[in-house]
Every structure is written in structure tokens, then in C-alpha cells.
């Protein structure tokens, strides 16, 4: 009978410990519901605005990439038309010091320069 009472007391003590753990979890849960969720709801609009700005920035970066590719192609085309070689390669090539310099082939008619259309940051970023 004594063992039976000790076992019951041990089980009761474990139940009390378990109950205190449950109360701690419930208190943490109520703190989360009462404090953190309202803060998250308050920050929701800020997060939405930030997401829109990030999307706009990604769009600008994509446009810049397209424009840069266009400009590089235009520069390559102009160098070809004017007979100009890549200057950086000429500077790095050690043997180029011993070669005779090539005169660029210039035709009588220079092509008319047409500046490419480049993006305007004002189109993407409003005064905020």
C-alpha cells in the first residue's frame, strides 16, 4: 500500500509539472497573439510598399541591362565602321610595341550618329 501511495504522489507531481509547462506555453501563445500579431498587421503595409519598390528596382535593373547591351553593340558597331581596334587589347599585348601602327581606315563619309534611347530614372522613381 505504501508503494501505491508513493506512485500516486509521483504521478501527481509529474502532472503538476506538466500543467505548469502547459501554462507557460499558453502564456507564450497569448503573448504572441496579443503583441506580435498586431505588430505584424501594422507592418503589413510597409512590407507591401517595400515589395513594390523592390519590384520597381528589379525592373529598372532589367532595363539598364537591356540599354547597356544596346550601347555595347552600338560601340562595337561604331568601332567596326571606323576601323578602330580594341584599345585595351592593344595596350596589353606586349608585341604591339614592335608593330607598326595601323592607320584606321576612314571612309570619305562618316556615318551619322544616332544616340540610343536610354531609360530615365524619373520614369521609374517618383518623388517619395
What are the residue ranges spanned by the domains of the chain? 4-123
The residues near 55 (Cβ < 8 Å, ≥ 6 apart) are none
User: Is the sign of the CA dihedral 58, 59, 63, 69 positive or negative?
Assistant: positive
Which range (30-34, 51-55, 81-85, 100-104) has the least confidence?
100-104
Between the CA of residue 88 and those of 10, 24, 41, 91, 95, what are the distances in Å?
85, 69, 56, 5, 14
Q: How far apart are CA 128 and CA 124, in angstroms?
A: 12
pLDDT at position 4 = 86
pLDDT at position 44 = 94
Closest CA to 84 of 110, 117, 66: 110
Taking only the tens place, the pLDDT of each residue in 91-113 is 555 555 555 555 555 555 666 77
Residue 53 grid coordinates:
519598390
Q: Supply the pTM of this predicted model.
A: 0.51
Taking only the tens place, the pLDDT of each residue in 9-27 is 999 999 999 999 999 999 8
Taking only the tens place, the pLDDT of each residue in 45-61 is 999 999 999 998 999 89
Amino acid at each position: 500500500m505504501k508503494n501505491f501511495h508513493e506512485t500516486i504522489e509521483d504521478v501527481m507531481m509529474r502532472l503538476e509539472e506538466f500543467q505548469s509547462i502547459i501554462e507557460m506555453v499558453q502564456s507564450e501563445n497569448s503573448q504572441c497573439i496579443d503583441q506580435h500579431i498586431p505588430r505584424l498587421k501594422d507592418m503589413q503595409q510597409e512590407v507591401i510598399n517595400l515589395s513594390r519598390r523592390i519590384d520597381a528596382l528589379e525592373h529598372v535593373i532589367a532595363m539598364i541591362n537591356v540599354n547597356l547591351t544596346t550601347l555595347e553593340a552600338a560601340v562595337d558597331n561604331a568601332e567596326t565602321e571606323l576601323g578602330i581596334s580594341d584599345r585595351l587589347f592593344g595596350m596589353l599585348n606586349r608585341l604591339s610595341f614592335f608593330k607598326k601602327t595601323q592607320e584606321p581606315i576612314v571612309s570619305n563619309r562618316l556615318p551619322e550618329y544616332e544616340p540610343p534611347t536610354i531609360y530615365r530614372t524619373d520614369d521609374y522613381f517618383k518623388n517619395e
